[in-house]
Structures are given as C-alpha cells and as structure tokens.
Structure 1
Amino acid sequence: MLEEKNDNLPLADGVNPETETNTIVEAINSTNAEDSETASINENNHILLANYDELSLEELNTELENLLKNEKVTAIRDHVEGIKRSFLNKYNELIDEKRKVFLEENPEAFSTDFQYDLPAKNHFNSLYNNYKDQRNTHFKSIQDQLKTNLANRNQLIDELKDLVENTENYNAALKDIQQIRERWKNAGPIPKDNYNHVWNNFHFHLERFYDQLHLDREARDIDFKNNLDQKQKVIERASILINEPDIRKAFRELQTLHRIWKEEIGPVAKEYREEIWHKFSEITKQLHSKRESLQNEIREREELNLAKKNELIAAINSISTNKFNSHNDWQNAIKEIEQLRTQFFSAGRVPAEQSEDTWATFKNATRNFNVLKNNFYKDIKKEQQDNLVKKQALIEKAKSLAESTDYNTTTPAMKKIQEEWKHVGHVPRKFSDSLWKEFKQTCNSYFDRLHSERNQEMEVEMANFDRKKEYLESLKDFELTGDHKTDLDAIKVHIENWKGLGIVPQTRRHIEGKFNKVLDALFDKLSLSKKEAELVKFNNKIEHLIESNDGRRLQNETVFVQRKVEEIQSEIFQLENNVQFISNAKADNPLVKEINKNIERHKDELNLWKEKLVQLRNINKND
C-alpha cells in the first residue's frame, strides 16, 4: 500500500531502515502468498514432530497409521516424509545385513538370488500409498478451487473498476464498495504466482475510489477511522506477541496479522499512515530479531549435534581399524558399535544441508565395520563347516566300531576317537547339540555294553581267583616221589590244572606269582637241567599271557627276548674278537681258557633264548 512508508534514517551499521523493513515485509508477504495457495493443502495444525530415527519399523508404521486415522491429510506432510525417510533408512540397512548373511551362507548364490519379504515393509507401502492417494485427491480439488477463486477475484476487480469509472454518486456507491470488499475478503486463496498482481490491482482501483470520495468527506472519514481502529488493534495484538515464549507461534501469528493488515483493512487518513506503519514495522523487526536469535540458537544446537555425530562416526571408524582375532573381542566391539549407534540416533537434528551427508557418512562407517565383522565370521563359519565334516566323520567311525566285540582292539580305538573329538573346534550352532547327542549315544552304547560284559567277566574271574586260592592251598600237601619222570609229569599236571582254572582279575594277579614260586621250589627239588627248567617255566608264563589275552605284554615279551638274543650275540662276538688280539695265544693259556669258557657259557645261554624266541614266533604265526 502507498501509505506504508518509513523515515529514511540510517541504521548504526549503515543499513537503511526502510530497506531492512521492506526486506522483512517482502519476506513475510512472500510467505503469505505461498501460504495463501497452500493453506488448504498443508494446514498448519502444529503437530509435534517426533524423533523418528529412534523408533523401530513397527513403531514407525503405528505412528503413520495414527496420523492417517486421526489427522487431516493436509496437516501431516512433514511428519509422513520424516517417517518415510527414517523407515527406508532402517529398512535398507536391515536388507543389507540380511543379504550379506544370505551370501555368506550360500557362497554359490548371486546377489540377485536374494529375496526377503518383510511384513512391516508391505504394511508401510500400503499406508504410504493410502496417504499419496488421499493427498493427490485433495490436491487436485484444491487446484481446481484455486483457479475458481482466481476467477472470482478477477471478477471482483472488474466490478470495482466498473464502479469507480462509471459511478456518479460515490456516496451511494460506498455501500457497494463495502460489499465488494467483504466478498473479496471471503474469496479464498489463489495461486501464489498471481497473488501480488491481483492484490495490487484490487487496491489500485480501491484507492482510486477513495481518492474520488472527497465529495463526501464525512463518509470517507468514517471509513478511515474504522480502518485506523482495526490497524491499531492489529498493532496491539502484535505488541503482545513480543512477550510470547513460543517465538515460532508468535511469528506465524505475525504473518497472519500482516495478511490482515494488507488484505482485509483499507487505508487510513494520511496523517496517521506513516505513524501506524512505523509502529507495526518496529514490532515486526523486534519479532524478526527474536526469531533470528532463536534460529541462531537452533543452528548452534544443530552444529553441536553435528560435531557430536561426527565424533561418534570417528569413534566407529576407529574401532574398525582395530584387529580383533577372537569371538569375544568381536562381541565386545559389536556392543561398542551398538552403543555408538544409539548415541548417534539420539544426538538430535543437524543442519538440514548436512543431514544427508552425515547420514551417508554414518552408514558408510557402520557398513565398513560390518564388512570386517562379516569377513571374520565368514572365516569362522568356514572353519566351523570344516569342523562339522570332521565330527561327522568321527561319528561314522564310532558307529562302525560300536557293535564290535573285539574289546581289546576296539576300546583303545574308541578312546582315541573321543580324544580327537575334544580337539576338534566349534561347529555351526544349529548342528552342535544334535551332533554331540548322536556322538555321545554312540560312544555310550559301546562302553555300556563293554562295562556290562566286563562286569560279567569280573564275576567269573573272581570265581577263578577263589578256586586258584584253594588249589594253591592244596599244593602245600604235594610231595615229590623221587622218580624224576613221575614227578615232572605230576608238576606238569598241576600246571595244566592251574591253567584250566582260568584267568583272575587284574587286581588279583599276584596269585600267579605265588604259584610260580611254588613251581620254582618244585623244579629246584627236581634234578632238571637249568635249561629244561627254564623252558618249562617260560612256556607256563607264555601260556598264561595267551590265556589272559594280554597281547601287549606278549608283544613286550617278544621284544625283550629278541634284545637278549642280540645282546648275547654281541658279547660272544666281542669275546671271540678279544681272543684274536692276544698275541702268541695258546690253548692252555689261562686267560684264553677263561675267555673260551665264557664264550661256551654265552652260547648255551644264547641257545636258550633262541628257543624262547622260537616259541614266541610260533605263537605269532598261529595268531
């Protein structure tokens, strides 16, 4: 309007006050023009924006569903877009994780083979499509209404123009002007591109009318006074807004007051125009200053939030540079990353121009950590898969031996399998319990049967022990007749009888030593040659080992006899060699005679051990 002027007083910083005021007012007018068009598209219900980054996918769906159910579609655009951004960020991150797991578990698969259906995503798609359908329907009706309102306002301008140009009695036309102004006031929003042009055109013809109304000063002055009262009320309301704690709310109402001042209230008398505009513009500048201070505070907080989020991202990157070589180390690192992620999501908003870059940097940092983590567990899974194959092979080996009755051979083999099992590492968790259960059942089946038979054998062996103890007691009454052959045959009968009584428990085998002592005493009384007695006792010992099925001791005995044969042969060779080095040695030389005597004694001993070795080898051949 033409009356909205200011004194051209320079500001302290060199800015022209009228220029500053015009800049602020133009900004408000521009906002009002846009709001005029979009008022019905985006109603300003001031629904509080939640921190959607802190909500889960299901909670975001619930929030969106409640908005669609309880609020107007024109009032929830910012909320819906915030929910959409947070939902897709979380969903895409989840899908990335699921895809990595799929590819790790299916190394032959391609990325395109991955499919994952998330009910929460389907629900979100349905809700968001519902929102778009409602909004598009509403938007189309609004566009049609804006065009209709524009046509109505142009019609009012034409009526006003015709009234100004063709009226002879302006006093009588004043009533028509008031009707046109009331209709203008209620004509509704128009496209923002037409806002200033249409408003200026209307007020141009309205001022023409008032300029010509000087013929009836009384009527004009009444209208001026009424307009002045309304503008003073606007100023009073604006002055109250200075103390409004919610500066956002105050500035939104200031925009409304500017719209009312410009669109709904007519001109005032010239002597008041600059005065009231100055008051209104000063209040506007004060509110604008408070708004800028608030925006600066918000900006500072957002900058602090940005710095904090950057620190959290740096901490994530720092953890990713560490080398973790154990499951526990990685689990601790994962907990740290989760704590940092939680702090990131609760750190608050950052400057809008930094939001996307910050999110992308954060996502890249967490992705890098996850790549390292997944590579580690991929190696672990490969090792666990190898361990799975090893344990399955041990189970099959144990099963192949579980029904064996060759306990002496099978038992050490089964124990070896159990020992190998202990040294095989972890297997995939889903197989761990079932594998152990199968292995344990297989081993228990064998050892339960072994213990059962061993218990039965123990009962038999204890009975044998009792009989041998009685038999040993009866030998105290045995006496030799003095006939060599008769006594030797009798001793051999006792040996056979003793063997026929069977083996005794391991813990009772000392009774065999007692029997051998009785035999030694009997052989000493007989006039047997040393060789003959030694072979009889050796044969008795070997047969006892055979009956006891003690293959290990039998094998040890064979090794011992072989070594004795080798030792005696070596001694004979050394003695014969020594004789050759005695110069001028004669057969009747005492030293030579002693050496030859030793050689003969060693040869007799060698023959004895060779016969023992023959007996052992014959046993091995028969086995």
Structure 2
Amino acid sequence: MLEEMNDNLPQADGQDSMESTPQGTEISAQEAMDNHLAEAGETGEHESTTLPTKDYEALSMEALVEEMATLLSHDQISAIKNHMEEVRKAFMDKFHHFIEEKRQEFFAQNDDTAEFEYHSPIKNKFDQLFDEYKARKAKHFNQIQNQLKANFVERTNLIEELKNLIDSNQTSMSDMFKKFNDIRDRWKKAGAIPKDKYNLVWNNFHFHTDRFYELVHLDKEVRDADFKNNLEQKLAIIARAKELIQEASLTKAFRELQLLHRIWKEEIGPVDKEYREKIWAEFSEITKQLHDKREAQLAQAKERELQNLAQKNQIIAQINQLSEERITTHADWQKQIVKMEALRQDFFNAGRVPAEQTEETWTHFKNAVRNFNATKNAFYKDIKNEQQHNLDRKMALIEKAKSFVDTNDFESATPIMKQIQEDWKKIGHVPRKHSDEIWAEFKQICNAYFDRLHESRKDEIEAEVAAFERKKDYLEQMKTFELVGEHKTDLDAIKAHIAAWKELGKVPQNRRHIEGKFNKILDALFEKLSLSKKDSEMMKFNNRLDQLAEGNDQRALVNEQVFIRRKIDELQSDIIQLENNIQFISNAKSDNPFVKEVYKSIERNKEELKLWKEKLKKLNNLA
C-alpha cells in the first residue's frame, strides 16, 4: 500500500525539489505548477476551455443577467465557474446600491413606520439563473468528487499490480513488459485524483516504475528503446515550452504549460539517468521563466488595481464633497444628481481593486452615496412639505372663489376674484399628482364667474361701444371749433365741450385711446386761451381725473399719485438747493443779476409747488 513507502523514496524523474529562499518561505515555480495541476484535477479544469474575461463591474444589471444566461449556455461548468462568481458579485453590488436608493426614496415620501417593499423583475430573473447554475455546479462537482475517489482507488490498485509484477519473479521478460505496458496504459487513462493524494501517488508510481526498470536491466535493448522514446517526447515538450516563452498571451501560455507538465508527469515514462537531471533542469528553467513572466504580469495587474483603488477613493471623496455642498434649489439639485450619476458610473468603470480592499472600498462608496441621497432626500422632503402647504393655500383660494360664483354683486366681487387670481399666481408648486386636478377646478370656477360677469355686462358693453361711436363723431366736430377771442365766452365754450364729452358716456377699455385724442385738442385750446398757467393746468388736470374716475382705473390713479409726489419732492429739493446757494453769496449786493435770477427761480418753483400740491389734494379727495 501507499503507506509502505519510506522516507528514502528516491527522486523520480520529473519531480523537482523545493527551491527555498534564505527565509524558506517562497514556493518554487515548479511546486506552484504542481499545485496548479493538482487543483485542476480536483476541480475538473483539465477539461475546461478558456473564456475571455470581461469587466463585469462596468456592465448594467440587465447586461449582467444577459451575460449570466450566455454563460449558462456553455456545456462546461468548470469553464464558467469564476466568471459566474464575478458576475454574481458585480450584480449584487449594483442591486444592493439600487435597492438602497429605492429605500431612501420610499422613506423620503412616507412615514418612518411604513413598511418598505420592492419587487424587482430583474432580480427574480437573476435568482432563477443563479439557482440553475448552483444546481448544475453541485451536480458537476459531486460527479467530480466521486470520479476522483474512483480514480484514486484505480491508481492505487495499479500501483499494487506493478508491485506484484515486480515481486512475481517471472522469467519471461516479454510477458513482464507486456503487463507493464498494460499497467502504464491504464495509468495514463485513469484520470485525476484528490489533491491531497496527488504528489504521494505520482511519486509512488514513478518509484515502482524505476524498480521495474532496475529489475529488467538485463533486457537493455527493450529498456533503451523505451527510454529513447520517452526522451524524444520530453525533448519535444521542452521545444514547445520554449516557444511558449514568446506567446503573446501569458494566460494561454501558462495553460498550455500546465498541459505539458501533466503529459510529462502523467503520460510519459522515465528516461535514462544520464539525461534525467539535465532535461528536467532545462524544463524547470523554462517553467521558471514563464512563471516569472506570469508573476510580473500579476504584479502589473496588482499595480493597476492599486491605481484603480486610488481612482475609486478619489471618486468617493468627490461624492462626499457633493454631499457637503449647500444646494437650495430644485434646478441646482438636478445638476448635482447628474454629477452624482456620472461619478457613480465612473466608479463602476474604474476596474478591479485589490481583493483585500474590495469590501472596504465598496462600503465607503455605499456610505458616500447614502449620505448624498440622505441630503438630497431631506431637501425634497422639505419641498414636499412646502408643496403640501401650497396645496392647502390653493385649496383655500378655491373655496373662497366658490363663494362668489353665484353672486350678483359683480361690482364688489370682481376685484376680489381678480385678487384671488393674482394670489394663485404667487403661490408656488404643489405636489404633481394634484397639480392638474386643482388647476382644472380653479379654472372652471373662475370661468364660470367671469362668464356670468360678461353676460351681465353685455348690455353695458353695447352702450360703451355706442358711446365710442358718438365720441368719434364728436371728435370730428371738435376739429372745426374755433375760439372767438372773448375770454369768458371761449372759456364757457370749452367747459361746455368738456361737459358734453362726459355726457356721451364711458367707452370700452380697449378703445380709451380716444380720450387721449380729446385731451390733445383741449391742450391746444387752453394754449390759445388767455388763462393763467395755474387755471389752465387745473382745468386739464380736472378733466384727466374725471376720465380716470370714469374708467375706474385704480392702477392709473395710483401711478398718477406716485408721479405727482415725485414732482413735489423734486421741486422741494430744488428750492432747498437754491436757498443754500443764496447763503453762500450773502455778501453780494441785492441788485446783483445772478442773485436776482436765483430769487426768481425760487419764486417760480414755489408757485409750481403750490400747483402740484393742489393736484395731489384733489387726487387724494378722489381716492
């Protein structure tokens, strides 16, 4: 049995010794290769093909599910094992991030006591595919384990057969070689065995193979032929291994090197002792070179992962900075969200990070995104409260407007309804789900009121149109009116025209330009009339006030009041400035021309000030 081997087991052809560093901790290239071979046998990867790697972290959840379905169509489960695990991790990272955002959005719109639920069709599809993969993988590896055990039993029995053949003391060398070759052929076909038995079983078989060749050393011709054939095959392997050094794809080269090692150890017998160490040393050196190139490539990949880590940490810092910025408007928050999505995509596109940093980096990223979303959701929760307040205010306006829909007191209700419309415009946004509904209701109420108002004013509007036509005819008559030169007669005539104009009635709002034409005629007549400036100005002003009062134009009355107050302020300021100027020239003589002119200006401004104050008084009395 295997346990019968002792510590003096000779080094078999194809077995390299451990190359230890001074510290004795580094595994040699050859031992690393042996480990690869043993693991490949135990996982069934001898039979698997190589699939191209992809940057799964850069794919969307939908694309990852499609990729998983594509991988499952492959008939070798061992070939897709690593890919499926990477797809699963990339999908779950994205799904956890996605569901966290949905959870925060939910609680931003609902009470904390509400129960969050989210059903994701894409997650259901993912679970179905991954369950199918797990079932296939479990079945596959159960089959492998059973086969490994069966192979181990078969190889153990073959070793026992070889031992028995050696110890049988048969005299026919031909029969012994025939049985030996049969054992060796069955050994080559026996398949992989458990990893923990790998080296012991192979060494044991090679040990007894050497014993056999020592036993049959008398039949040198047969032995030498076998050794020569084995040498040729191993030299061919060395030649192919040398070519692999130039292979562009190290992954492909390393995989083929594994295959060459397996053939060397498992399928080709020993060579003459004269060449054993030499060819093994050459093959081991090639193995070391490829191993070193692969390690250098892995080191470069590690360096890229460190660069990716630095980039991802920088992105996390930028997300944290976004969270700290004070944003107070919806438009600015929309810009922040666009920036956040760009950074989030950059994070997923940044590539792999060192495995030992993956979980920590992902946690920092999730926390940064969570903080951003918390700040964003707090802002929109405040907006939601504000919009609810706006909704309450608009509902109150709707109720107020309803109370005037059926009134017949249009004179009192119309200003209120107009103010309600103005107040509505000043109120901000309401929740979107209510916006169209309440606007339709408000518009219907206002239309109902103003339709009734317009209906009630139909006769009034017709009268105003008739008044406009009469005033248009009267305006043509005024163009032929001439003053006779008698002050009183002419003044009485102008007053009569003003009175007659008023008697013609009010005109429609959109045709009030005719009042301006009449005022221009009056202005020309007053210019010709030998009235004092004050009397002329007051007559024109009184006529203007009558027109404003007739049109019930409150805004025009307010604007007139503002204009008159501004004129009064300007005149008072000019008077103060002129009086100050007099003080600076107090030592000048009273008959000084400049002094006389300043005094005259003061008097003119004071007279004009009295006129504007009188206008303001009349306007205030009208209001």
1:26-425 correspondence to structure 2 within 5 Å: 26-39=31-44, 43-107=47-111, 109-110=113-114, 113-169=115-171, 171-172=173-174, 173-425=176-428
Deviation above 6 Å: which 4+ runs of structure 1?
5-8, 19-22, 461-468
Aligned-residue offset at 1:153: 1.0
Structure of greater Rg: 1
Within the alignment, does 1:450 sit opposite 2:448 as a pair? no
Identity %: 51
- Partner SS state of residue 45, structure 1: coil
The change in CA–CA distance for 1:20 and 1:180 in structure 2 (over 3 A counts) is farther
Aligned-residue offset at 1:423: 1.7
The answer as to whether partners of 2:149 and 2:194 remain within 8 angstroms in 1 is: yes
The separation in 1 between residues aligned to 2:248 and 2:374, in whole angstroms, is 49
The answer as to whether partners of 1:170 and 1:213 remain within 8 angstroms in 2 is: no
Deviations 1:588-610 (A, max 9, x none): xxxxxxxxxxxxxxxxxxxxxxx
The change in CA–CA distance for 1:403 and 1:72 in structure 2 (over 3 A counts) is farther
The separation in 2 between residues aligned to 1:130 and 1:160, in whole angstroms, is 44
- Structure 1 letter corresponding to 2:146: D
Aligned-residue offset at 1:195: 1.4
Aligned-residue offset at 1:462: 6.5
- RMSD after superposition: 3.3
The separation in 1 between residues aligned to 2:199 and 2:78, in whole angstroms, is 24
Aligned-residue offset at 1:299: 1.3
Most deviating of 235-244 and 285-294: 285-294
The change in CA–CA distance for 1:348 and 1:7 in structure 2 (over 3 A counts) is closer
The separation in 1 between residues aligned to 2:17 and 2:134, in whole angstroms, is 50
Specify the alignment match of 1:472 in structure 2: none
Aligned-residue offset at 1:459: 2.4
Aligned-residue offset at 1:67: 1.6
The answer as to whether partners of 1:391 and 1:421 remain within 8 angstroms in 2 is: yes
- Partner SS state of residue 76, structure 1: helix
The separation in 1 between residues aligned to 2:243 and 2:290, in whole angstroms, is 11
- Structure 1 letter corresponding to 2:294: R
TM-score, normalised relative to structure 2: 0.71
The change in CA–CA distance for 1:466 and 1:78 in structure 2 (over 3 A counts) is closer
Within the alignment, does 1:23 sit opposite 2:28 as a pair? yes
- Structure 2 letter corresponding to 1:116: Y
Specify the alignment match of 1:579 in structure 2: none
Aligned-residue offset at 1:268: 1.3
Aligned-residue offset at 1:280: 0.8
The answer as to whether partners of 1:398 and 1:414 remain within 8 angstroms in 2 is: yes
TM-score, normalised relative to structure 1: 0.71
Most deviating of 42-51 and 394-403: 42-51
The answer as to whether partners of 1:171 and 1:219 remain within 8 angstroms in 2 is: no
The separation in 1 between residues aligned to 2:450 and 2:197, in whole angstroms, is 97
1:568-607 correspondence to structure 2 within 5 Å: none
- Partner SS state of residue 269, structure 2: coil
Aligned-residue offset at 1:57: 2.2
- Structure 2 letter corresponding to 1:354: Q
Deviations 1:544-587 (A, max 9, x none): xxxx9x9x9xxxxxxxxxxxxxxxxxxxxxxxxxxxxxxxxxxx
- Partner SS state of residue 403, structure 2: helix
Specify the alignment match of 1:439 in structure 2: 442
Deviations 1:444-469 (A, max 9, x none): 2211221232232232567799999x
Aligned-residue offset at 1:387: 0.8
- Partner SS state of residue 401, structure 1: coil
- Structure 2 letter corresponding to 1:139: F
The answer as to whether partners of 1:462 and 1:504 remain within 8 angstroms in 2 is: no
Runs of 5+ unmatched residues, structure 2: 1-10, 472-502, 516-549, 555-623
The separation in 2 between residues aligned to 1:372 and 1:101, in whole angstroms, is 12
The separation in 2 between residues aligned to 1:464 and 1:26, in whole angstroms, is 114
Runs of 5+ unmatched residues, structure 1: 469-501, 511-547, 553-623
The answer as to whether partners of 1:21 and 1:281 remain within 8 angstroms in 2 is: no
Count residues in correspondence. 478
Structure with greater contact order relative to length (CA < 8 Å, sep ≥ 6): 2
Aligned-residue offset at 1:250: 0.8
Aligned-residue offset at 1:411: 0.7
The separation in 2 between residues aligned to 1:242 and 1:464, in whole angstroms, is 108
The separation in 2 between residues aligned to 1:402 and 1:389, in whole angstroms, is 20
Specify the alignment match of 2:593 in structure 1: none
Aligned-residue offset at 1:49: 2.4
The separation in 2 between residues aligned to 1:366 and 1:401, in whole angstroms, is 52
- Structure 1 letter corresponding to 2:237: V
